[in-house]
């Protein structure tokens, strides 16, 4: 006879319900059933608690969570009425996220956080040195031997033609000395327009520690109808141009606060004329609904609609009277990210954006 | 004076930290290093029960991550980090309860699917009681789990890694695309894998005892 321990499944229904709860895929009827059984059966409660603990241990082993405290100290010494005065402001933020360097960490990496961080640093430095050494060797071989050169040149050319977002994590600006932890200047995200109804925000400070950035300290805060734009450039300085087969993917992390959901629109736009006589054409767009619930990942794909790229102007400033259709083929594109809700309540935060060209 | 303080810091940290951390730690005072060391030990012990406790209320891994973050900040700033481990666990879970209830209030838009408040609370209390009575997620138990994971075929380990990565939903979907499996099948496999691992860990621990 086997001994019944708290982590032994009671029956197949309970095992299934708890497994669904752990994997976040209970439907309303199943949730109600789990609720009933947990309420009525102490053994079910014991089993579920035990499974939650096992799942937490599994998560901790497979994806060790690194805790990172950031401390900022601002010391000010100034002449006062009765002699020199000084003040110290200190701010602490905490980041909690994956710090794993390997799928199955060695026992040593599970100990103190300081040691774990040290291992990551070591690996980072190690791989950086390897990469640097490879580049030096490749450069040397290229000079020494013409046979090697084409292969290196080809791979470099492929790399250089990639479109990469600039300042995708919004960390290019240090807001630690900004009075309120916000600024309306968003480096690389106001091309060609200044940002409207959007701002860079040191979120941990602005929300008094209620919300933290997905990474680093800064996020972009978007009010309703706010937008940010960036000209899409390649590593080699070239521009991303419109073609009928163009398809791109934008992904990143969002946080909806104060409302149940928000809407995010991203579009590939050709700006024929910037302000004040704005004429803007939209080559392709995509809109997604973002439900609230902490930091969540989003992905949206934008492709060109229709057989050709003939477009009517999407927006023209009031003073513009000539509003011609235009074939956007070969035109330089901007990425435009907008918050589009019916109501102006709540806040939307974005962090760690990524952009990828799927087809051209 | 400054130099001797730095040296003191250097010596104090030497027993616990790798040599290349010494320079960084000279920026911290001995008191701060002591707090960091003790807090790290305490925090390492409470991570599993804390996640399980928050999961009782929240049932969503992203909300749980956010909750852990909030609790960490409160405990670091205000927590009794020098107390005995059970007291530290008690304080951490008390913070976690407030954080979780606040998170439920923020996210309860009618579509979020939580267990009912009384059941969630009872489940969290059971997690806490089990942890205090058994405290069985020791270093040895973690070692046993790692050994069991290493014993799995690569494909099964890959599935678990996809499920427990930071972007589990997206990772699982791409895993399903790669392997041509249906999501329902993957979740069934996950259920079986967790059971296999649980049995494996218990067996290994029994052998050690």
Residues of B with CB below 8 A from A356's CB?
A: none
Residues of A with CB below 8 A from B36's CB?
A: 114
Q: How far apart are CA B163 and CA B79, in angstroms?
A: 33
Cα atoms in the 13 Å half-sphere on the side-chain side of B193: 26
pLDDT per position as a tens digit, B46-105: 999 999 999 999 988 888 888 898 898 888 888 788 888 888 999 999 999 999 998 888
For B:21-80, CB contacts with A below 8 A are: 21, 36-37, 40-41, 43-44, 47-52, 55-56, 59-63, 65-66, 68-70, 72-73, 76-77
pLDDT at B3 over 50: no
- Residue B45 confidence (pLDDT): 87
Residues of A with CB below 8 A from B109's CB?
A: 260-261, 291-292
Q: For residue B35, is it left (φ>0), alpha (ψ between -120 and 50) or beta? A: alpha
DSSP structural state of residue B63 = H
- Residue A277 confidence (pLDDT): 78
A92–B59 CB contact, under 8 Å? no
pLDDT per position as a tens digit, A6-47: 566 668 899 999 999 998 888 889 999 999 999 999 999 999
Mutate to test the interface with B, among A6, A35, A112 (most CBs of B within 10 A): A112
For B:123-182, CB contacts with A below 8 A are: 123, 126-127, 130-131, 137, 139, 141-143, 145-146, 149-150, 157, 160-161, 163-167, 169-170
B65–A6 CB contact, under 8 Å? no
B167–A25 CB contact, under 8 Å? no
The set of residues, in sequence order, having a beta carbon less than 8 Å from that of A18 and lying 6+ positions away, is A34, A47, A48, A51
**What are φ and ψ of residue A314, in 5° steps?**
-75, -35
For A35, A230, A280, A319, B161, the CA distances from A193, given in Å and listed in that order, are 52, 9, 12, 17, 43
Question: Which residue from A24, A46, A97 is facing B166, i.e. has the nearest CB?
Answer: A97
- Residue A267 confidence (pLDDT): 94
For B:74-133, CB contacts with A below 8 A are: 76-77, 103, 106-107, 109-113, 115-116, 118-119, 122-123, 126-127, 130-131
Cα atoms in the 13 Å half-sphere on the side-chain side of A344: 5
- Residue B9 confidence (pLDDT): 34
For helices B85-107 and B30-58, angle between their N-to-C axes, nearest 10 degrees: 50
pLDDT at B154 over 70: yes
DSSP structural state of residue B204 = H
Q: What percent of chain B has pLDDT over 70?
A: 80
Residue of B nearest to A69 (CA): B73
A94–B73 CB contact, under 8 Å? yes
Q: Which residue has the higher pLDDT, A138 or B192?
A: B192
pLDDT per position as a tens digit, B6-52: 333 333 333 344 444 444 444 567 777 788 888 888 888 899 999 99
B142–A39 CB contact, under 8 Å? no
Q: How far apart are CA A327 and CA A336, in angstroms?
A: 19
Q: How far apart are CA A241 and CA A308, in angstroms?
A: 14
- Residue A69 confidence (pLDDT): 65
Question: Minimal Cα–Cα distance from B83 to chain A, Å?
Answer: 18
- Residue A1 confidence (pLDDT): 35
The tokens for B49 are 């029960």
Residue in B102, B77, B103, B69 with CA at minimum distance from that of residue A204:
B69
Partners of A103 in the β-ladder: none
**Residue numbers of chain A with a pLDDT score lower than 70:** 1-10, 68-160
- Residue A96 confidence (pLDDT): 56
Residue of A nearest to B108 (CA): A260
The tokens for A115 are 């040691």
- Residue A187 confidence (pLDDT): 86
């Amino acid at each position: 006879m086997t001994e019944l321990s708290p982590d032994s499944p009671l029956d197949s229904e309970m095992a299934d319900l708890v497994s669904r709860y752990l994997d976040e895929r209970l439907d309303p009827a199943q949730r109600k059933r789990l609720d009933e059984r947990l309420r009525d059966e102490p053994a079910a409660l014991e089993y579920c608690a035990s499974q939650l603990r096992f799942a937490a241990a599994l998560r901790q082993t497979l994806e060790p969570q690194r805790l990172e405290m950031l401390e900022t100290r601002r010391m000010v010494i100034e002449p006062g009425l009765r002699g020199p005065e000084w003040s110290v402001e200190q701010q602490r933020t905490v980041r909690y996220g994956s710090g794993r360097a390997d799928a199955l960490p060695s026992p040593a990496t599970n100990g103190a956080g300081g040691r774990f961080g040290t291992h990551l640093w070591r690996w980072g430095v190690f791989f950086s040195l390897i990469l640097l050494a490879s580049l030096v060797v490749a450069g040397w071989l290229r000079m020494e031997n013409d046979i090697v050169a084409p292969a290196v040149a080809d791979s470099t050319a492929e790399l250089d033609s990639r479109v990469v977002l600039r300042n995708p994590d919004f960390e290019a600006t240090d807001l630690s000395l900004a009075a309120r932890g916000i600024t309306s200047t968003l480096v690389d995200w106001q091309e060609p327009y200044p940002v409207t109804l959007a701002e860079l925000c040191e979120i941990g400070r602005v929300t008094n520690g209620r919300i933290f950035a997905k990474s680093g300290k800064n996020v972009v805060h978007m009010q309703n109808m706010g937008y940010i734009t960036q000209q899409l450039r390649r590593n080699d300085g070239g521009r991303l141009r419109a073609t009928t087969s163009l398809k791109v993917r934008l992904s990143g992390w969002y946080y909806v606060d104060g409302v149940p959901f928000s809407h995010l629109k991203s579009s590939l736009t050709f700006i024929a004329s910037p302000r004040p006589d704005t004429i803007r054409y939209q080559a392709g767009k995509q809109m997604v609904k973002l439900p609230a619930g902490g930091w969540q990942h989003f992905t949206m794909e934008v492709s060109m609609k229709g057989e050709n790229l003939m477009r009517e102007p999407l927006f023209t400033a009031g003073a513009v009277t000539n509003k011609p259709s235009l074939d956007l083929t070969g035109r330089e594109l901007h990425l435009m990210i907008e918050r589009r809700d019916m109501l102006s309540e709540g806040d939307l935060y974005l962090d760690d954006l990524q952009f990828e060209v799927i087809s051209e | 004076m400054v130099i001797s303080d730095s040296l003191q810091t250097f010596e104090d940290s030497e027993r616990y930290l790798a040599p290349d951390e010494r320079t960084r730690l000279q920026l911290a005072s001995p008191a701060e290093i002591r707090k960091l060391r003790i807090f790290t030990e305490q925090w390492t012990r409470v991570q599993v029960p804390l996640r399980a406790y928050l999961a009782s209320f929240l049932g969503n891994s992203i909300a749980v991550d956010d909750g852990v973050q909030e609790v960490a900040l409160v405990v670091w700033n205000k927590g009794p980090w020098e107390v005995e481990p059970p007291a530290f666990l008690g304080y951490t879970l008390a913070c976690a309860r407030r954080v979780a209830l606040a998170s439920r209030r923020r996210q309860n838009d009618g579509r979020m699917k939580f267990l009912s408040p009384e059941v969630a609370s009872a489940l969290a209390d059971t997690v806490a009681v089990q942890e205090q009575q058994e405290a069985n997620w020791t270093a040895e138990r973690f070692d046993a789990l790692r050994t069991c994971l290493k014993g799995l075929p690569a494909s099964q380990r890959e599935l678990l890694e996809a499920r427990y990565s930071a972007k589990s939903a997206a990772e699982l979907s791409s895993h399903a695309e790669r392997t041509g499996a249906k999501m329902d099948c993957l979740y069934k496999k996950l259920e079986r894998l967790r059971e296999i691992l649980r049995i494996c860990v218990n067996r290994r621990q029994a052998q050690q005892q």
